[in-house]
Amino acid sequence: MITLAQIGSGVWGQNLLRTFSSFPDCRVKICCDSREEVRATIRRQYHHQIQVTDNVQDILKDPDIDAVIVATLPASHSLFSIQALEAGKHVFVEKPLALNLKEGEEMLWASQKNRKILMVGHLLLYHPAVRKIKSYVEEGILGDIHYLYSTRVNLGQIREEENALWSLTAHDISVAMHLLEQEPLEVAVTGNAYLRENVHDVVFLTLNFKNNVMCHIHASWLDPHKVRKFTVVGSKKMVVFDDMESTEKLRLYDKGVNFQKDSGTYETFLTLRHGDIHIPKIDMEEPLKLECRHFIDCVMNQKEPQSNGANGLAVLKVLMAAQESLESNGKPIQI
């Protein structure tokens, strides 16, 4: 039995609390939040089975706590994560890992020094559809990847401090790096702030990887549509992941361009290929449940998480460079 505590129980924190509490081999003992209305909600929903407090020390000093979930605002991720790691607790921290490289590196060092697991909530890496795309890449079904692009937009969840870059794009950055198994060489970002000064509501990122592979990301919370779509274009086939689809989330397109030689002139010409569309059967499980289950398994078996601290730091480096590009009106920034 793993005993957990959670720091921060806002909108997403409530989802984490619900999920971790559902595992039979896991017990959430304490939840800490500075807001009395949140603590009252937890008491009511969990019938006082989970202790509530506004003092983090109640968690850090409790010898029963094996691991801590940090679901606070990003500005305090490093503070609470390092305190928990120094107290001998494993840590699951929501994305982004931190808001600057110094804090991220300190978190990674605290994890290594205390020999405790640090896992970052890069949720999409645990999505069954993303895992299926990864298998396509590894098996060579898509061929060489030419480019990727994603759209993550909706109307709502407007932030007062965290812009759309930091709030939304970590998911797609982590997926692109996961599929390509490399970090981008440079990033260029443009965007604008329409609702609050200096808080960008819409951003457009272009990531350039080696071998001339590029990834484009459009993210916004000021859009008439709710879209969660990721497309990978390969030399053999193309695949589209639409997370808004209830069942048919993945479509594999046998479309592309064929290179053919004219035996008479030895010239190369191109022909378009329009093949079948395959909709694979995917055994869907809630990605959040898979992610949380992975953390528990890593703690119980002392395994390194897929989205470990190093992975979180790599994504953080991209976000930092992207923010610099955004503030420089789209100037490409090397990573």
Pair (210, 276) in one structural domain: yes
Pair (208, 99) in one structural domain: no
* CATH assignment at residue 67: 3.40.50.720
How large is the average pLDDT for residues 309-325?
97
The reported pLDDT for the residue numbered 51 is: 95
Pair (35, 130) in one structural domain: no
The reported pLDDT for the residue numbered 267 is: 58
* CATH assignment at residue 172: 3.30.360.10
Pair (109, 169) in one structural domain: no
302 found inside a domain: no
Q: Count of domains in the chain?
A: 2
Q: Which of 68, 90, 116 is at the close of a domain?
A: 116
The reported pLDDT for the residue numbered 315 is: 98
CB atoms within 10 A of CB 120: 31
33 found inside a domain: yes
Q: pTM for this one?
A: 0.92
State which residues form the domain around 170. Answer: 125-287+317-334
pLDDT digits (tens, 9 = 90+) for 143-195: 999 999 999 999 987 787 789 999 999 999 999 999 999 999 999 999 999 99
- pLDDT at 199 exceeding the cut of 60: yes
Pair (134, 274) in one structural domain: yes
Q: Average per-residue pLDDT in the chain? A: 93
190, 163 in Cβ contact below 8 A?
no
pLDDT digits (tens, 9 = 90+) for 4-46: 999 999 889 999 999 999 999 999 999 999 999 999 999 999 9
Pair (181, 271) in one structural domain: yes
Look at residues 284, 157, 287, 155 and name the one whose alpha carbon lies nearest to residue 225. 155
Pair (151, 279) in one structural domain: yes
Residue 329, phi-psi category: left (phi > 0), alpha (psi -120 to 50), beta (remainder): left
